[in-house]
Amino acid sequence: MECRVLSIQSHVVRGYVGNKSATFPLQVLGFEVDSINSVQFSNHTGYAHWKGQVLTAEELNVLYEGIKLNQVNRYDYILTGYSRDSSFLETVVDIIQELKKANPSLVYVCDPVMGDHGAMYVPEYLLPVYRDKVVPLADILTPNQFEAELLTGRKITTEEDALEVMDLLHKLGPETVVLTSTDLPSKRGDQFLVALGSQNIVKADGTKTSQKICMDMPKVDAVFVGTGDLFAAMLLAWTHHHPKDLKAACEKTASVMHHVIRRTMTYANEMAGPGKRPSPAQLELRMVQSKADIENPAVVLEARVL
Amino acid sequence: MECRVLSIQSHVVRGYVGNKSASFPLQVLGFEVDSINSVQFSNHTGYSHWKGQVLTADELHVLYEGIKLNKVHQYDYVLTGYTRDTSFLEMVVDIIQELKRANPNLVYVCDPVLGDHGSMYVPQNLYPVYKNKVVPVADIITPNQFEAELLTGKNITTEKDAVEVMDLLHAMGPDTVVITSSDLPSRLGDRFLVSLGSQRKVRPDGSRTTQRVRMEVHKVDAVFVGTGDLFAAMLLAWTHHYPDDLKMACEKTFSVMHHVIQRTISYAHGEKTHQEVFRHVCFVNGFVDGSVCHKNTSASFITLNSPQTLMCLFNILYVYIIFLCSV
């Protein structure tokens, strides 16, 4: 498999977020990963302390220039995630547009990170950049409920709302949309959260339709950082292997998440000791230890086709 | 296995040198790798063009401070490679000294990248820093012949010279030394190069012994960049699994190199004619000046006109062991 991904995300010295979260699993699955580190921090910002440096839009451009001058600016996929800087994001958009000209089949996997649970955790002025410039270029989008609502200006209170919002997102650009988590009530009870997906497909007779799926995912009593980044990376991988079968792609992706999170929880609780809440350091994803699950995830979650 | 490595090396957006060369293989082998990127470049400096940014000594310190403030500065290994900046290197030394205080069992694997084939390709003022500050805190070093000669002030023309040089290096600090490539004549002919290793140990009864290893390694008609970085990383891994058996550790390490290089050459051949320089993955220690084309440190020439010959040669790897006990 000769598949090259350009991933533009954060780098942390220690732990698994951004490029640290995405690169190893993709490499394990045989993808060539070129990575531009948008920042270099000691660790993610959920720790008591964090220190480091950020890459400016200009510096990003310089790195891309190097790739271009060597005429190696051909990619099959681009992957982006958390960003705090609108000029950086706009430079990313310019780069993606150019890369799409170089390879029209390029697939841009975009996690439009803006916030969660009703609050933004990036500057507000990123929203119009995402909505008007980034999302229109995206082919695969992985918003959570809050981000999907922000991008479409519509609230989600029922499954029907969610389906309509995903259709609105299709109209903005991406052929594949996955609502990675919602507050919708799960048929399996309150220990589960609902995720949904929608993929535009062209039927054999030429008509356009979409495949919509729904997944009930077990909730976990812990705050993980980096799981969204891992999710987007694994969705890239599994939609690559199942380009017309969102159900299969999501089942594999969610299953990998499940295995990694389970392993991490067990380790974190062991490290913290009985009755104690694990620290951010202890909750770092057990990525390296999950290599086998990443390579060949046992499917433990089922997606329903709606 | 719960083993944490701090690797302070270059990052390239595309390709496999520095941290890009070291991290994935170590992670695949189950090591937790914390990586500080000393630079971020588009690609290595053997391409026609390269662009990017470097980390200053201060910025390195800031990153380390973050790790320290969170009290997560316990490492089992530190790994360093190519550097061009003396103040950066000195900051690395300070960090390692502190990490060794935090964990006295820490093993520092150091590739003292200075040059090859008789000339330096880093600034000259790095040499005293390596000699006086870096190598003394190293536990495992992977110099090539030129670097070993530079550090000890002694030339290597025979195997006996090489053994003496390795003993001089032991006296400077590291208990494990691997001379990754040399110009010594190989027993298998001029298509092979000689690598040597030496590991000092203390026996249970308190007496000291030294295991010496010699490898005859295939030469390759290609310029690879990043292989020295891969070598140091894999030597870290395999000495971890075989801490008292340098022979095994070297066999595994050199074998990994062989497989990766073989695959790379096959791929590169499939892509281009044999006259073109391979751009993908692997080999050779460090970089050279951005303006100068790549240097081939441990290859010389075999004909590539016959793919069968090439594959046949690559399937053979000979290892000779010389045991010398010194008290």
Q: What is the DSSP letter of A7?
A: E
Tokens in use for A85? Answer: 């800087």
Q: Is B71 left (phi over 0), alpha (psi -120 to 50) or beta?
A: left
- Give how far B67 is from chain A: nearest CA, Å: 6
Question: Per-residue pLDDT tens for B105-162?
Answer: 999 999 999 999 889 999 999 999 999 999 999 999 999 999 999 999 999 999 999 9
Task: Provide, as residue numbers in chain B, all residues whose Cβ is less than 8 Å from the Cβ of A14.
Answer: 34, 67, 72
DSSP per-residue letters across B283-312: -SSS---TTSPP--SS------S-HHHHHH
SS3 labels along B61-88: HHHHHHHHHCCCCCCCEEEECCCCCHHH
Per-residue pLDDT of chain A (306 residues; tens, 9 = 90+): 899 999 999 999 999 999 999 999 999 999 999 999 999 999 999 999 999 999 999 999 999 999 999 999 999 999 999 999 999 999 999 999 999 999 999 999 999 999 998 999 999 999 999 999 999 999 999 999 999 999 999 999 999 999 999 999 999 999 999 999 999 999 999 999 999 999 998 888 989 889 999 999 999 888 899 999 999 999 999 999 999 999 999 999 999 999 999 999 999 999 999 999 999 999 999 999 999 999 999 999 999 999
What does the pLDDT read at residue A204? 83
ipTM of the complex: 0.96
Task: Provide, as residue numbers in chain B, all residues whose Cβ is less than 8 Å from the Cβ of A28.
Answer: 28
Active site residues of B: 229
Tokens in use for A264? Answer: 């991490």
> What is the separation of C-alpha B236 from the centre of its chain, rounded to a whole number of angstroms?
10
What does the pLDDT read at residue B321? 33
Find, in chain B, the residue whose alpha carbon is nearest to that of A45.
B66
> What is the separation of C-alpha B107 from the centre of its chain, rounded to a whole number of angstroms?
15
Place of tokens 């009870």: A189
Tokens in use for A176? Answer: 């594949």
Average pLDDT for B82-109? 97
Q: What is the DSSP letter of A169?
A: H
Neighbouring C-beta atoms of residue A32, cutoff 10 Å:
20
Q: For residues A223 and A105, what is the distance between their CA atoms, to the nearest angstrom?
A: 37
* Phi, then psi, of A125 in degrees rounded to 5: -70, 0
* Burial class of residue B177 in the structure, from the number of CB atoms within 10 Å of its CB (0-12 exposed, 13-18 middle, 19+ buried): buried
- Give how far A219 is from chain B: nearest CA, Å: 27
Tokens in use for B162? Answer: 């090489």
Cβ(B146)–Cβ(B130) under 8 Å?
A: no
Whole-model pTM: value is 0.90
Find, in chain B, the residue whose alpha carbon is nearest to that of A53.
B59
Task: Provide, as residue numbers in chain A, all residues whose Cβ is less than 8 Å from the Cβ of B47.
Answer: 70
Cα dist. B68→A145, A200, B102 in Å?
37, 49, 10
Name the residue facing B49 among A49, A52, A69 (closest C-beta): A69
Share of chain B above pLDDT 90, in %: 77
Average of per-residue pLDDT values in chain B: 85
Name the residue facing B37 among A37, A43, A288 (closest C-beta): A37
Question: Per-residue pLDDT tens for B200-231?
Answer: 998 889 998 999 999 999 998 887 899 999 99
What does the pLDDT read at residue B272? 52
What does the pLDDT read at residue A15? 98
Using a CB–CB cut-off of 8 Å, the residues of B that contact A are 11, 13-14, 23-24, 27-28, 30-37, 40-43, 47-53, 55, 59, 62-67, 69-70, 72
Place of tokens 């026996």: B203
Taken in order B178, B184, B188, B189, the sign of the CA dihedral is: positive
Tokens in use for A83? Answer: 């960003």
Q: For residues A48 and A279, what is the distance between their CA atoms, to the nearest angstrom?
A: 10
Question: Per-residue pLDDT tens for B269-284?
Answer: 886 543 333 333 333 2
Taken in order A289, A290, A292, A294, the sign of the CA dihedral is: negative
Adjacent-strand bridge partners of A35: A7
Question: Per-residue pLDDT tens for B232-271?
Answer: 999 999 999 999 999 999 999 999 999 999 999 999 888 6
Parallel/antiparallel/unpaired status of strands A107-110 and A140-141: parallel
Q: For residues A108 and A96, what is the distance between their CA atoms, to the nearest angstrom?
A: 8
Find, in chain A, the residue whose alpha carbon is nearest to that of B8.
A13
* Burial class of residue B302 in the structure, from the number of CB atoms within 10 Å of its CB (0-12 exposed, 13-18 middle, 19+ buried): middle
- Give how far A288 is from chain B: nearest CA, Å: 6
Which H helix or E strand runs over A58?
helix A57-69
Tokens in use for B215? Answer: 């490898």
Identify the structural domains of chain A with CATH numbers, from first to last: 4-272+284-305 (3.40.1190.20)
Task: Provide, as residue numbers in chain A, all residues whose Cβ is less than 8 Å from the Cβ of B63.
Answer: 13, 40-42, 51-53
Neighbouring C-beta atoms of residue A122, cutoff 10 Å:
18
Cβ(B226)–Cβ(B283) under 8 Å?
A: yes
Tokens in use for B210? Answer: 């030294």
Neighbouring C-beta atoms of residue A48, cutoff 10 Å:
11
Name the residue facing A288 among B32, B36, B65 (closest C-beta): B32
Q: For residues A22 and A10, what is the distance between their CA atoms, to the nearest angstrom?
A: 10
- What ranges make up the beta strands (E) of A42-117? 52-54, 77-80, 107-110, 115-116
Name the residue facing A27 among B24, B47, B52 (closest C-beta): B24
DSSP per-residue letters across B77-118: EEEE-----HHHHHHHHHHHHHHHHH-TT-EEEE----EETT
Name the residue facing A40 among B23, B37, B51 (closest C-beta): B37
Cβ(B40)–Cβ(B13) under 8 Å?
A: yes
Cβ(B166)–Cβ(B177) under 8 Å?
A: yes
Task: Provide, as residue numbers in chain A, all residues whose Cβ is less than 8 Å from the Cβ of B24.
Answer: 23-24, 27
How many contacts (CB atoms, under 8 Å) link A and B?
A: 114
DSSP per-residue letters across B8-19: EEEEESSS-SHH
Average pLDDT for B156-185? 97
- Give how far B48 is from chain A: nearest CA, Å: 7
Task: Provide, as residue numbers in chain A, all residues whose Cβ is less than 8 Å from the Cβ of B27.
Answer: 24, 287-288, 291
